[in-house]
Amino acid sequence: MVRDATFRDAQAIADIYNHYITNTTVTFEELPVTAAVMRSRIQQAHDLSLPWLVLEQGAMLVGYAYASRWKERSAYRYAVEVSVYLAHDVTRRGYGSALYATLFERLAGAGLHVAIGGITLPNDSSVALHEKFGMKKVAHFTEVGLKFDQWLDVGYWQKALVSRNQEADD
């Protein structure tokens, strides 16, 4: 079941994310985050009327996806960055797709124009998920992050959520 995140989900979200912080280069954060940090991030999304979603399997939270502001400048207000994370032991079960399907639907319904996803490279499964949802690679930055004593590349994928023709009709 995909639903809106609440503050009660903050610890489970932090637990999922902290696995990626401490064990992978998927995120460039280097120190584990607390439930309080996640509550603050959920609140920031809510303050901007952006979705933060969780997926439950039974009584267990197994993943989350959210949109955040792309850049601070006013002209960027119709562009968002999207992210999805799953509990490390439940990947390849369609949960990321379920989260992104709901996230993209909500973003388009809110009148947002572009979704952007940043991916540490290489990451074949994340690239496949983003491309499954029609995102196209638009940028590749070489050696922009240093984690675990290795320089890492980042690619950016982008998707129009609302076509220019749809915007003109509205």
- CA 120 to CA 123: how far, in whole Å? 7
pTM of the entire predicted model: 0.92
Q: Is residue 169 over pLDDT 80?
A: no
Q: 31 is in which domain, residue-wise?
A: 2-169
79-128 residue pLDDT tens: 999 999 999 998 888 999 999 999 999 999 999 999 999 999 999 999 99
* Burial status of residue 137 (CB atoms within 10 A of its CB: 0-12, 13-18, 19 or more): middle
Q: Is residue 131 over pLDDT 60?
A: yes
CATH number at residue 95: 3.40.630.30
Count of structural domains within the chain: 1
Average pLDDT over residues 33-50: 97
- Picking from 141, 102, 101, 93, the residue whose alpha carbon sits closest to that of residue 121 is 141
- Name the phi and psi angles at 45, rounded to 5: -60, -45
Q: What is the pLDDT at residue 166?
A: 53
Q: What is the pLDDT at residue 73?
A: 96
Mean pLDDT of the chain: 94
Instruction: Say what angle helices 35-47 and 10-23 make with each other, to 10 degrees.
Output: 110
- List the structure tokens of 78: 């119709």
